[in-house]
Amino acid sequence: MKNRLIISCLALLITNIVFSAPPVDDGKLIFTGRCASCHNVNKVVVGPALAGVGERHSEDWIIKFVHSSQSVIKGGDKTATDLYEKFNKVPMPDHPDLSADNIKSILAYINSETKKTSEAVSFRPEKVRPAYTPILISNWQFFSGYMVMVLLLSAAMILLVRVKEIQRRGIDKP
């Protein structure tokens, strides 16, 4: 009886560890399902770009706005009203079913995507040198090797056609 209880507890613990998604993965799932049609992390779509939203607004304000943007606007919040006016008075749909933890995981995902894009843009393209040598007409080694390969493939094809013709002649004769 004790062994079954211990095994059951271990199984529940392992299942919880395996199936619990990290906040960023959970946030990505929610963001792609609910937010990505109107928002992008770095581009303005229907709604504003969300990169740095955690620095522009407090977490509590974001949670209230996501739950019911129109109630925040009607409450007289200047920032919410400015956003509403700036984006052609298109109201953000209310998401009262999202918990505060869900919204925090979306913010964690947005922050992780913001860091990825800022790291990707940090290099200077003019400093990057190609890892290959471009093909030039003066590169006679390449062109001679290319011509040898074309001639070898052509000779192999001609040889195979001749062999097939000989086989057909041998089959046709009784």
Q: Is 88 left (phi over 0), alpha (psi -120 to 50) or beta?
A: left
Residue 42, classed as helix, strand or coil, is coil
Query: pLDDT truncated to tens, each residue of the chain (174 aa)?
Result: 667 767 766 666 565 554 554 556 777 888 888 888 888 888 888 888 888 888 888 888 888 888 888 888 888 888 888 888 888 888 888 888 888 888 888 888 888 887 665 555 555 555 556 666 667 777 788 888 889 999 999 999 999 999 999 998 887 665
CB 62 within 8 A of CB 53: yes
Alpha-carbon span 122 to 114, nearest angstrom: 12
* pTM for the structure as a whole: 0.55
Q: List, in sequence order, every beta strand (DSSP E) within the chain.
A: none
At residue 89, the pLDDT reads: 83
At residue 18, the pLDDT reads: 47
Residue type at position 143? F
Pick the CATH number of 19-117 from 1.10.730.10, 1.10.760.10, 3.40.190.10, 3.20.20.190: 1.10.760.10
DSSP alpha helix (H) spans, the chain: 2-19, 23-30, 53-56, 59-67, 69-74, 78-86, 100-120, 140-172
Q: At what angle do helices 100-120 and 59-67 cross, to 10 degrees?
A: 120
Mean pLDDT, the chain, whole residue set: 79
For residue 56, the tally of other CB atoms under 10 A from its CB is 12
Q: Where in the chain are the domains?
A: 19-117
Alpha-carbon span 104 to 63, nearest angstrom: 8
